[in-house]
């Protein structure tokens, strides 16, 4: 089962388009959602951790779960700009509920 649809440097999770970035990319100081992702043996992206931040530039480079995600195979971060906090909260909850990533421990 494919977890998402790939479109070159874009991916779609639950119908929402995310851009694909190496972790070390320069991040803009914008609010958004992010997914630490790894590819499975079939070449499909799998979410390992899903989160949101008021500033991707402040959150992603020093995220405390990144090294755990790398140990599980993470190579990229999928990001989507979402300015409104209520929309970020809602979409994060939907994504976590749908994909149950192993590094999201809240609610388990």
What confidence score (pLDDT) does residue 105 get? 80
Phi-psi sector, 46: left (phi>0), alpha (psi -120 to 50), beta: beta
User: How many domains are contained in the chain?
Assistant: 1
Pairing of strands 45-53, 76-81: unpaired
Structural domain contains residue 47: yes
Which pLDDT tens digit goes with each residue over 39-94? 999 999 999 999 999 999 999 999 999 999 999 999 999 999 999 999 999 999 99
Q: Is residue 108 part of a domain?
A: no
pTM for this one?
A: 0.90
Tens of pLDDT, residue by residue over 10-37, are 999 999 999 999 988 899 999 999 999 9
Residues in Cβ contact with 25 at an 8 Å cutoff, skipping those fewer than 6 apart: 77
What is the residue range of 13's domain?
A: 5-99
Distance CA 23, CA 60 (A): 8
Residue 2: per-residue pLDDT: 39
Does 59 fall in a domain?
yes
pLDDT at site 27: 92
CATH number for the domain that contains residue 69:
3.40.1440.10
Does 46 reside within a domain? yes
Tell me if 32 sits within 8 A of 88, measured CB to CB.
Answer: yes
Q: Give CA–CA dist 50/69, Å, rounded.
A: 11
Q: Where are any strands of DSSP class E within 1-108?
A: 5-7, 10-13, 16-22, 32-39, 45-53, 76-81
Q: Does residue 3 or residue 71 have the better pLDDT?
A: 71
Distances (CA, A) of 29 to 11, 57, 73: 21, 5, 26
Instruction: State residue 106's pLDDT score.
Output: 66
């Amino acid at each position: 089962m494919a977890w998402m649809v790939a479109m070159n440097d874009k991916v779609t999770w639950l119908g929402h388009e995310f851009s694909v970035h190496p972790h070390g990319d320069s991040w803009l100081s914008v609010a958004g959602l992010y997914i630490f992702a790894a590819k499975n043996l079939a070449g499909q992206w799998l979410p390992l951790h899903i989160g949101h931040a008021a500033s991707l530039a402040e959150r992603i480079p020093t995220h405390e779960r990144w090294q755990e995600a790398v140990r599980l195979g993470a190579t990229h971060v999928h990001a989507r700009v979402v300015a409104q906090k209520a929309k970020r909260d809602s979409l994060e909850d939907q994504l976590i509920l749908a994909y149950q990533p192993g590094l999201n421990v809240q609610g388990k």
